[in-house]
Amino acid sequence: MGTGVRPKTRAREAALVPKILKWSWRGTLGVPDSDVQASRQHKLALAKQIRELRPHTVILPYWEARHPDHYHASSLGYEGCFLAGLKALPLEREPFRPFKILYCTSFEGMPATFVVDITKEYATRRRAILAYRSQFRPAKSERKGRVYLAIDELDAKMDLLARRNGDLIGVRYGEPFLQKEPMQVDNVVELPVRSI
């Protein structure tokens, strides 16, 4: 809905990203742009998909965000995973629930439980995000203060954030995640990240 680009352009971009990131599956399950809601219908569609894909780990957007679609997707994702495990639901396939649910965000403000070193993956990740270029303004074409971010501003902002997160653990680029349950550690003398 963002920029009013032609649906064809958006579809082409959306098809490109899974190739860059080597995804085996990608889908939006019919949830409409700018109207993501944790409705019964969307939750059941997701539960069905979860039973088919049987993911060990699910990564959801953090539950606070600037874009309402992002925080509603977080609720929808959690409740869809929960429903997938209920035996008596009128859904095909065996009940299944992911083992792990993690929360991530590409923007600031989420208190990180842990950070992952993505220095090696950063170039690929950057290529994937910039592939959605129709959602952003061309570089330098318009003044800041407008609603949409220019593509070069986005690139700089992503770089800044990933470097700041990397700095927290002493690497070049980092990606923060949050989990609600406590971390488990096997060996306290092998923990990375200098304290002092």
Minimum distance from CB of 123 to a second copy (Å)? Answer: 19
Among 40, 54, 93, 127, which residue sits at the site for a second copy (rule: CB under 8 A)? 40
Contact window for a second copy (CB under 8 A) among 18-26, 120-128, 174-182: 174-182
Q: Give the residue with the Cβ less far from a second copy, 92 or 181.
A: 181
Instruction: Measure the CA angle with vertex 190, ends 188 and 192; round to 5°.
Output: 105
Give yes or no for residue 115 binding a second copy (CB under 8 A).
Answer: yes
- Nearest alpha-carbon partner for 115 in 77, 167, 63, 155: 167
Sequence-distant (≥ 6) Cβ neighbours of residue 31 within 8 angstroms: 42, 45, 73, 76
Q: Total number of residues binding a second copy (CB under 8 A)?
A: 67
CB count in 10 Å sphere of residue 71: 17
| Structure token digits, residue 139 | 């570089």
Based on the shown chain and the rule CB under 8 A, indicate whether residue 1 belongs to the binding site for a second copy: yes
Q: Is residue 193 a contact residue for a second copy (CB under 8 A)?
A: yes
Measured at the CA of 60, the angle between CA 57 and CA 64, to 5 degrees, comes to: 150
Q: Which of residues 46-105 bind a second copy (CB under 8 A)?
A: 56-57, 59, 66-68, 78-79, 81-83, 85-89, 95, 97-102
d(CA 59, CA 95): 20
Cα dihedral value 49, 50, 55, 60, nearest 10:
100
Among 20, 49, 117, 155, binds a second copy (CB under 8 A): 117
Footprint on this chain of a second copy (rule: CB under 8 A): 1-4, 34-35, 40, 56-57, 59, 66-68, 78-79, 81-83, 85-89, 95, 97-102, 108, 112-117, 144-145, 147, 157, 160-161, 163-164, 167-170, 176-177, 179-186, 188-189, 191-196
